[in-house]
Amino acid sequence: MSIDRKAVDHVARLARLDLSEVELDVMLTELQEILGHAEQIQALDLDGVEPMSHSVPMVNSMRPDEVKLSLTQEEALANAPEVEDHRFKVPRIMEDEG
Amino acid sequence: MTDLHWMSALELADALDAKDVSSREITEALVARGDALEERLGTFLHRTSERALEEADAADARRSAGEAKSRFDGIPVAYKDLFVTKGVPTTSGSKILKGFVPPYDATVVARSDAAGLPMLGKTNMDEFAMGSSTENSGYQKTRNPWDTERVPGGSSGGSAAAVAAGMTPWAWGTDTGGSIRQPASLCSLVGVKPTYGYVSRYGMIAFASSLDQAGPLTRTVADAAALLEIAAGHDAMDSTSIRDERPALLDGIDGGIEGLRIGVVKEFVGGGSDGVRAVTDEAYARLEKLGATLVEVSLPSFQHGIPAYYLVAPAECSSNLARFDGVRYGARVEADDIIKMTSRTRSEGFGAEVKRRIMLGTYALSAGYYDAYYGKAQKVRTLITQDLAKAYEKVDLIATPSSPTTAFKIGERTDDPLAMYLSDIFTVPVNLAGNAGISVPAGLAPDDGLPVGLQLIAKSLDEPTMFKAAYAFEQDLGFATSPEGRASI
């Protein structure tokens, strides 16, 4: 299984990366090499082996539901590139109707 | 008395106790050392010298009043720039966080502060901790104090170089696949990756959440135990923080290793460069001389550690780094719709390695490829953990080199991502399994005269045994505490 240029373009869109044609070409070569190295594990017979997402067996970590101080609105907004009316401001999200 | 900047934190604590020195004098000496070397080494992204001096004065006042916050009150520390620090710029080595001033402290920072450690500054690192040489920093290169043409290792390379150059007795780093132990090895330091969940991750800018752990970089084993004790323990702010009690590390560290069984990995015999092999073979013999029994163990799945890690870690990173969208913090590149704004912000803000890992992770998680890549890697993770568990039936610790090579030249591996990834061959399995690992200075390689580190791996929460063995080895070798064990810079 080898990654192709079409897949690289698609993944860049999914990852919200605006890459140039040159960057996409280089990315293709590098990902092919890295994924080629990963082929050794694709060849392994892993039927019946449980996948592991975490090293510590975890159950839900609960704490008492108490009201505590958290960041103020001012602190939470202090690092935002753009703020309006005490809210994060972003460019247009919806297309114009009609 | 030894120069203040070469004294260990424990020596400084004793000197403070005896009133031979003040925190102000220690901090001034370290700031002066930093002033003299920073330009050559590029270790810090942001220095907080004024603040450190103020905190030192406060520590001196507390000590005079008999109200020291801890045994180490007034001994300065540096933080990898991945720990958020209230009111102090934090970038995680990335341009995308340029100008970010966090509104809170990471738990590691808060606990070090509660022990009275003045903050010297934030150290350079590979962007978002992705790299093994600190060359992926969005800001600057850091040079190895042992040879300034070479890398300090990474990703905690700034912290490592600062400790190795005598700019701080100790520093905090983080280790996702070797990012504390490998730079420790390349700079002749002690570096610890504790058991997963041992130290809170609250306020660590996340790279791969199931693998990230904070740990100390120091010049002595006892200092590493002391710094780790300062921040270890359960934290309600990190739901993966383990609840078990953390046993004492410093107390009993000199217990020796008589009767300990130490595993030498069959598959690794002959691994690493000639110089690394020569030094680590001697190190194994020394452990035996000290009373340990060497036992051959087989860890066949370790050979799959790198490919498994380089699927699991990028998958988690692609998800974690989705938060950098130009809305809440950091840089923004303006555009007239939100997708363009986000995509352009991320393309300009992230460096090449970070983009590569986001792409790799997004691909490994995407529909149609998930089972073949991410799913398989998760199963290999199980095999590695099982192999280690089987080994621990026969041994108490496992010994390996920390890094397959000594420090490489700046630029040598930057065009070959895969060669860079292989720097982590001995360290990544430890993160995948969640076990503990330490790198301890083992001497200089006979071929190139550069530092080599011995890695000791312990089962989860068996840090005390790991520290005892590292301490016994360090004391018997006598290298780290001798002038030959210091970078001549």
Residue B280 belongs to some domain of the structure: no
Chains A & B: contacts with CB separation below 8 Å = 167
Residues whose CB is less than 8 angstroms from the CB of residue B167 and which lie 6 or more positions away in sequence, other chains included:
B5, B30, B33, B34, B37, B38, B43, B78, B120
Q: What's the complex ipTM?
A: 0.94
Residue B72 belongs to some domain of the structure: yes
Cβ pair A17:B347 closer than 8 A: yes
Residue A90 belongs to some domain of the structure: no
Cβ pair B103:A75 closer than 8 A: yes
A61 touching B (Cβ < 8 Å) = yes
Cα dihedral value B216, B217, B223, B225, nearest 10? 30
**Which among B236, B326, B378 has the least Cβ separation from residue A52?**
B378
Number of domains forming the structure of chain B:
2
Residue B296 belongs to some domain of the structure: no
**Minimal Cα–Cα distance from B291 to chain A, Å?**
32
How many CB atoms are closer than 10 A to CB B323?
12
Residue A48 belongs to some domain of the structure: no
- List b or e across B57-72, with b for residues whose CB sees 16 or more CB atoms inside 10 angstroms: bbbbebbeeeebbbbb
Residues B207 and B71 in one domain: yes
Residue A88 belongs to some domain of the structure: no
Higher pLDDT, residue B101 or A58: B101
Residues B230 and B186 in one domain: yes
Residue A25 belongs to some domain of the structure: yes
Residues B343 and B369 in one domain: yes
Residue B373 belongs to some domain of the structure: yes
Give yes or no for a contact between B187 and B143, defined as CB atoms under 8 angstroms apart: no
Question: The domain spanning residue B116 has which CATH number?
Answer: 3.90.1300.10
**Minimal Cα–Cα distance from A71 to chain B, Å?**
8
Please tell me the predicted confidence (pLDDT) of residue A56. Answer: 80
Please tell me the predicted confidence (pLDDT) of residue B258. Answer: 96
For residue B232, count CB atoms less than 10 angstroms from its CB and return exposed for 0-12, middle for 13-18, buried for 19 or more: buried
Residues B375 and B403 in one domain: no
Number of domains forming the structure of chain A:
1
Residue A30 belongs to some domain of the structure: yes
Residue B68 belongs to some domain of the structure: yes
Residues B132 and B20 in one domain: yes
CB contacts of A16 in chain B (<8 Å) are 322, 325, 339, 342-343, 346
Rounded distance between C-alpha atoms, residue B29 and residue A41, angstroms? 52
A98 touching B (Cβ < 8 Å) = no
Mutate to test the interface with A, among B359, B365, B414, B435 (most CBs of A within 10 A): B359
Residue B357 belongs to some domain of the structure: yes
**Is the peptide bond prior to A61 cis by the omega test (within 30 degrees of 0)?**
no
Residues of B acting as catalytic residues = 80, 155, 179
B342 touching A (Cβ < 8 Å) = yes
Q: Among B379, B409, B435, where does a domain finish?
A: B379
**Which among A10, A30, A81 has the least Cβ separation from residue B326?**
A81
Rounded distance between C-alpha atoms, residue B375 and residue B369, angstroms? 9
Residue A71 belongs to some domain of the structure: no
A78 touching B (Cβ < 8 Å) = yes
Residues B316 and B407 in one domain: no
Residues B236 and B190 in one domain: yes
Give yes or no for a contact between B77 and B168, defined as CB atoms under 8 angstroms apart: yes
Domain span including residue B71: 4-262+393-485
Question: The domain spanning residue A25 has which CATH number?
Answer: 1.10.20
Residues B225 and B313 in one domain: no
A40 touching B (Cβ < 8 Å) = yes
Domain span including residue A35: 5-42
Cβ pair A51:B338 closer than 8 A: no
A35 touching B (Cβ < 8 Å) = yes
**Nearest in space to A41 (alpha carbons), one of B161, B175, B300:** B300
With CA atoms as reference, the chain B residue closest to A13 would be: B343
CB contacts of B381 in chain A (<8 Å) are 51-52
Cβ pair A55:B433 closer than 8 A: yes
Token code pair at residue B389: 């568990």
Rounded distance between C-alpha atoms, residue B187 and residue B165, angstroms? 9
CB contacts of B356 in chain A (<8 Å) are 27, 30-31, 34
Token code pair at residue A14: 């999914």
Please tell me the predicted confidence (pLDDT) of residue B270. Answer: 65
Residue A97: band (very low, low, confident or very high) from pLDDT cuts 50, 70, 90 = low
Residues B179 and B255 in one domain: yes
Token code pair at residue B139: 């800001």
Residue B268 belongs to some domain of the structure: no
Residue A83 belongs to some domain of the structure: no
Q: Among B379, B409, B434, where does a domain finish?
A: B379
Cβ pair B363:A90 closer than 8 A: no
A31 touching B (Cβ < 8 Å) = yes
**Which among A12, A34, A88 has the least Cβ separation from residue B327?**
A88
Q: Among B322, B356, B379, where does a domain finish?
A: B379
Cβ pair A38:B362 closer than 8 A: no
- List b or e across B88-123, with b for residues whose CB sees 16 or more CB atoms inside 10 angstroms: bbbbbbbbbbeebebbbbbbbbbbbbebbbbbbbbb
With CA atoms as reference, the chain B residue closest to A27 would be: B356
Higher pLDDT, residue A37 or B229: B229
**Minimal Cα–Cα distance from B58 to chain A, Å?**
27
Residue A77 belongs to some domain of the structure: no
Cβ pair A17:B350 closer than 8 A: yes
Q: pLDDT tens, position by position, for chain B (489 residues)?
A: 689 999 999 999 999 999 999 999 999 999 999 999 999 999 999 999 999 999 999 999 999 999 999 999 999 999 999 999 999 999 999 999 999 999 999 999 999 999 999 999 999 999 999 999 999 999 999 999 999 999 999 999 999 999 999 999 999 999 999 999 999 999 999 999 999 999 999 999 999 999 999 999 999 999 999 999 999 999 999 999 999 899 999 999 999 999 999 999 988 776 789 999 999 999 999 999 999 999 999 999 999 999 999 999 999 999 999 999 999 999 899 999 999 999 999 999 999 999 999 999 999 999 888 998 999 999 999 999 999 999 999 999 999 999 999 999 999 998 888 888 888 999 999 999 999 999 999 999 999 999 999 999 999 999 999 999 999 999 999 999 888 999 988
Residues whose CB is less than 8 angstroms from the CB of residue A83 and which lie 6 or more positions away in sequence, other chains included:
A77, A89
**Which among A7, A34, A80 has the least Cβ separation from residue B329?**
A80
For residue B251, count CB atoms less than 10 angstroms from its CB and return exposed for 0-12, middle for 13-18, buried for 19 or more: exposed
Token code pair at residue A59: 């159950």
CB contacts of B362 in chain A (<8 Å) are 11, 14-15
Residues B258 and B315 in one domain: no
A83 touching B (Cβ < 8 Å) = no
Residue B388 belongs to some domain of the structure: no
Question: Cα-flanking dihedrals φ and ψ of residue B455, to 5°?
Answer: -100, 135
